[in-house]
Amino acid sequence: MLDLQDKTYCPTLDEIGAYVGSPAWGQFCSEIKAAYACCEKIEYSACSMERGWNVKFKKAGKALCTIYPRESYFTVMVVVGPKEKEAVASILPDCTAAFQEIYRQTREWNGQRWLMIDLEDRGGLYSDVLRIIRIRRGR
């Protein structure tokens, strides 16, 4: 069994996917890589709130999202900054009620909202996350 807290062993994307155990994991990573022609970077975080291995996707030096693997699901962190705020606000009414609630409950700090979104499947919330990443990338 993979130990995401073991900083001496860097897991592969496939090993993390097996740990997560959700078909949405592989699909999400593939969609991000294909849409933005970027590669994942697997990093160990020593942050006390999210200690362990995570997966980051960046394009042109800008973070698109960070994924925190969990058993049976994963959490995607997407930052909505001042540049994206207006565009996200304009699509918010079209997003799922779950996403709207996450957005409202996430406190703004220094002009940013660090959204933490749990994904288990490829439902509406999954689509909302991809829309926010598109906005973040400027597409």
Give the model confidence (pLDDT) of 39-52 as tens digits.
Answer: 999 999 988 678 89
- The distance of Cα 2 from the centroid of its chain, to the nearest Å, equals 20
User: Which pTM was predicted?
Assistant: 0.94
Strand partners, 26: none
Q: What distance lies between CA 73 and its chain's CA centroid?
A: 12
Please give the Cα distance from 6 to 79 (Å, whole number). 27
Amino acid at residue number 32 = I
Per residue in 88-115, pLDDT tens?
999 999 999 999 999 999 999 999 999 9
